[in-house]
């Protein structure tokens, strides 16, 4: 008979203690999950396991249990290294649109994991070296542009370090509105004083335009609604930027859209803003 003080260890060689079985009251040979430790499955065995799991629906309760178990779990360096080695060179299946949508909904409203964390000088050098000479595909650049446009339309603002930016309370709209430059702020103040202006909307929607054989999107600065029901799109730009090729393409795109939708379009420069 085995004494209570006797200790048995897992035979996989991990060095961890095993426990006695609750039913048969005998010492276990392995810790749970250690039986096949270091022994790779055969192709036939892997195929059988896949067939068993195929089409299996996990209940919401089970999902919550799995999530609770994994939440806050810290992986060891050895574990991370094994995952990295396993993933290196592995071809990943493209995610379905439904899967992408679920990921997007799950992460919506969550703060970024690296928010407020500044990169070390070593990390910056690594990133710089990694990105040096890297050419983004046309598709990737288009996706990046579309993402920025979507974020702007959702109300996310990037505060500029080069121009005066902030929020201004509009009495006509009864809310705070964002301005990206002192020119835009001046335009808002002028609209507040105009009696024929019923309301105005900042960055109302996106309009497509073509430039350098690419389809781009731009967001007009202001959409004005007048008391007589008329509407007008306004683009606020300094006079010295009117002849830039991309801006010309933008203005033509907004102008064509405005004609199709029976809306006026004008560009406000220093002259219209009263800045000399």
Q: Name residues of the chain where pLDDT drops below 50.
A: 1-3
Looking at residue 161, its pLDDT comes to 59
Residue 74 resides in a domain: no
Residue 172 resides in a domain: yes
**DSSP letters spanning 130-170:** HHTT----HHHHHHHHHHHHHHHHHT-----SSS--EEEEE
Looking at residue 160, its pLDDT comes to 57
Domain carrying residue 19: 7-40
Provide the number of structural domains found in the chain: 2
Residue 46 resides in a domain: no
Residue 82 resides in a domain: no
* Closest by Cα among 185, 181, 177, 152 to 165: 181
Residue range 51-61, pLDDT digits in tens: 888 888 888 89
Looking at residue 2, its pLDDT comes to 46
Looking at residue 233, its pLDDT comes to 96
Residue 147 resides in a domain: no
Residue 96 resides in a domain: no
Residue 148 resides in a domain: no
Q: What is the CATH number of the domain that holds 239?
A: 3.40.1350.10
């Amino acid at each position: 008979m085995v004494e209570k003080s006797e200790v048995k260890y897992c035979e996989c060689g991990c060095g961890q203690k095993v426990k006695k079985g609750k039913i048969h009251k005998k010492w276990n040979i392995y810790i749970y999950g250690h039986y096949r430790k270091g022994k790779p499955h055969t192709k036939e065995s892997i195929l059988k396991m896949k067939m068993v799991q195929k089409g299996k629906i996990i209940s919401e309760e089970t999902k919550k249990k799995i999530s609770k178990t994994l939440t806050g779990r810290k992986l060891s360096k050895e574990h991370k290294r094994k995952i990295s080695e396993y993933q290196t060179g592995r071809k990943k299946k493209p995610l379905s649109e439904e899967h992408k949508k679920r990921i997007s909904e799950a992460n919506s409203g969550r703060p970024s994991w690296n928010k407020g964390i500044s990169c070390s000088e070593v990390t910056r050098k690594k990133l710089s070296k990694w990105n040096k000479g890297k050419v983004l595909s046309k598709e990737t650049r288009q996706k990046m542009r579309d993402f920025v446009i979507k974020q702007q339309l959702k109300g996310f603002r990037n505060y500029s370090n080069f121009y005066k930016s902030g929020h201004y309370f509009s009495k006509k709209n009864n809310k705070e509105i964002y301005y990206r430059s002192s020119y835009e702020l001046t335009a808002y103040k002028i609209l507040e004083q105009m009696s024929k202006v019923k309301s105005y909307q900042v960055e109302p929607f996106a309009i497509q335009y073509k430039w350098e054989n690419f389809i781009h999107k731009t967001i007009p600065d202001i959409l004005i609604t007048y008391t007589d029901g008329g509407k007008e799109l306004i683009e606020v730009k300094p006079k010295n930027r009117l002849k830039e090729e991309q801006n010309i393409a933008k203005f033509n795109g907004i102008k064509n859209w405005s004609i199709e939708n029976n809306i006026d379009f004008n560009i406000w420069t220093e002259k219209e803003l009263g800045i000399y």
